[in-house]
Amino acid sequence: MKYYKLSMDMERENDIICHYKNDFGIQQNIFNVGKVFEGWDNKFWFYYDKQEGAFPTDYLANDKGWFVVSSKLKKLLENMNTEIQFLPIQIKERTHNEELVGYYIRHNIYSK
């Protein structure tokens, strides 16, 4: 078995940091229980401010503490044959409404 560790680059500046406005009642730790998340309706939005950071990374920091990944990282994780549910999210720049496409919440599913 191989193990990998992903971490944020805390020294680089200008990375996008996502914030939510409405969590639609979704608890912060809901993606730690290991069960398939039912009823995802794709209406969850994160927002970022270019003044705070404008560089889109493959692992986006956010104020929910969720594991938000790019399509590129999603594909890499899928190729590792892991049990992961990927929930698509919307990300928009706060001032200019530019949309950042191809991001997902990564949610591990634990087999019984």
The answer as to whether 44 is a domain residue is no
With cut-offs at 50, 70 and 90, classify the pLDDT of residue 88: very high
Start-to-end CA distance of the chain, whole Å, equals 18
Which among 99, 76, 112 is positioned nearest to 2, based on CA atoms? 76
The answer as to whether 39 is a domain residue is no
Residue range(s) defining the domain that contains residue 106: 50-112
Give the pTM.
Answer: 0.87
Cα–Cα dist 20/23, whole Å: 7
The answer as to whether 83 is a domain residue is yes
Please name every residue paired with 107 in a beta bridge, in sequence order, or none if there are none: 85
Which among 52, 9, 40, 47 is positioned nearest to 106, based on CA atoms? 40
The answer as to whether 76 is a domain residue is yes
Q: Which two tokens stand for residue 37?
A: 């998340």
The answer as to whether 31 is a domain residue is no
Q: What is the percentage of the chain residues whose pLDDT exceeds 70? A: 94
Tally of domains within the chain: 1
The answer as to whether 73 is a domain residue is yes
The answer as to whether 36 is a domain residue is no
pLDDT in tens, 43-62: 899 999 999 999 999 999 99
Amino acid at 53: G
The answer as to whether 23 is a domain residue is no
3-class secondary structure, 74? helix
Contact 16, 47 (CB under 8 A): no
